[in-house]
Structure 1
Amino acid sequence: MSGLDPDYGSTPLDFEELDALLPEVAEAIGDPVTKTSVYELEQAYEDAVREAFVVRAAAGELSLTDLLTDWTLRDLHARLYENIWTWAGVYRQRELSIGIDPVMIAVELRSTLENLRYRWEHAPDWTVKQLAIATHAEAVRIHPFVDGNGRSTRLLADLVLLAATPDDEPAVVFDWDLDKTLYIPALRRFDQARDPSELADLVGLVAVEEG
C-alpha cells in the first residue's frame, strides 16, 4: 500500500490541509506544498518512530498491557505527526464518511482495546496474528483521528504482534504491501462479523531486520 498516484502526489494541499500544517513545515517545503512533499516527510518520521518502537517491542520491553490502551495509540499518532500536523495525537471532532461518531471515540476506543486484551487473556481462541490484525481493524473501524489512522494503527498492530509472540519464535511484523482491492473489502467484512481470520490470512509476515 505504499506510494502515491503521480497525479495525486503533485496536487497542492487544499486550504483546510494547509491550515492544519505546522507553519514551519510549510515554510521549509516552500510553495507549492504538494501532497508528495508532505507524504515523503511523513514517511521519514514514520521510519524513525517505527524503528525505535519495533526495537523495544522485539526486545520484550513493551507488553500487551502497555500497548492495548487508547493512550498508547494516541501517543504513537502524536509521535508520527507532531512535527508536521497540528492534529497529531488529537481525536477528531467532526463527522467523517467513515468511523464512528466523534463524541464516542474516547470511550469506544478504550473499551475496545481493553476487550481485546481481556479476550486474549481469557478466551485464547485467536492466534497471535489474529489478535494483532484485530487491533488494527478495530482501530480503523473507529477511525479516531482526522488523518493518519492507517499508519498509526498498522504500527500498533505490529507492536502487538511482537509483544504477543513467544520468545522462542522469530520476531516478525506484518507485510503491509497489500492489494487494496482485497484489503479494503476484507476490512469492511471485519466490521460486520468482527472475525479477524480473513484479514489474518490475507496479510503476510516479514522478519524484523536485526541491527
Structure 2
Amino acid sequence: MRELNIGVAPSQIAVQLRSTLDTLRYRWEHTDDWSPRQLGIAAHAETVRIHPFTDGNGRATRLLADLVFVAAQSSETLEQYDWDLDKVRYITLLREYDGHRDVRDLAAFIAVQPFGE
C-alpha cells in the first residue's frame, strides 16, 4: 500500500474500519438518537474519513451508505440517498463532520428518494 495524504495510515485501515463500524453498530443498537438516514450517512462519512481504497472510495462508501440505510429502515416504502448533489457543499459538510462527528447537517443535506428510482 502507498501512503496517501487523506485517510488513515495503510497499516491502520483494517483496525480503524472494524472499530468504527463496530462503534456505529453499537450506537445504533443501544441508543435512539439517530434515524436510519443518519446511520447510513455516518457509515459513509466514517468510511470516507478512513479512506480504505486507493481508488473507488466514493463509489464504495456511497454503496455502503445505501446498504446501511436500506437495512435500517422498517417501513414498507424504502428510501435511498440521492447522490446527485452540490459537490462543493458536500465536501464542506464532510470536512465539518470530521471535526465534530455530528452527522445531522450532512444527513439533512443529502436528499432521499424512493428506493429504485
CA apart distance, 1:206? 1.1
* 1:100 maps to 2:11: no
Describe the SS at the equivalent of 1:95: coil
CA RMSD of aligned residues (A): 1.1
* 1:181 maps to 2:88: yes
* 1:143 maps to 2:51: yes
User: How far apart, CA to CA, are the structure 2 residues paired with 1:178 and 1:143?
Assistant: 20
Describe the SS at the equivalent of 1:132: helix
RCO greater where, 1 or 2, for CA within 8 Å and sep 6 or more? 2
TM superposition outliers: structure 1 runs of 4+ over 3 Å: none
User: How far apart, CA to CA, are the structure 1 residues paired with 2:102 and 2:116?
Assistant: 30
Structure 2 length-normalised TM: 0.96
Paired residue type of 2:52: P
Select the residue among 123, 127, 131 that pairs with 2:39. Answer: 131
User: How far apart, CA to CA, are the structure 1 residues paired with 2:94 and 2:59?
Assistant: 15
Paired residue type of 2:108: D
Paired residue type of 1:179: D
CA apart distance, 1:94? 1.4
Q: Which runs of 5+ in 2 are unaligned?
A: none
CA apart distance, 1:170? 1.4
Describe the SS at the equivalent of 2:37: helix
Describe the SS at the equivalent of 2:80: strand
Identity of counterpart residues, as a percentage?
58
User: How far apart, CA to CA, are the structure 2 residues paired with 1:169 and 1:202?
Assistant: 24
User: How far apart, CA to CA, are the structure 1 residues paired with 2:3 and 2:116?
Assistant: 39
* 1:196 maps to 2:103: yes
Q: Which runs of 5+ in 1 are unaligned?
A: 1-92
Paired residue type of 1:108: Q
* 1:164 maps to 2:72: yes
Equivalent in the alignment of 1:115: 23
Figure out how many residues of one structure are paired with residues of the other and give that number.
Answer: 117
CA apart distance, 1:169? 4.0
Larger Rg: 1
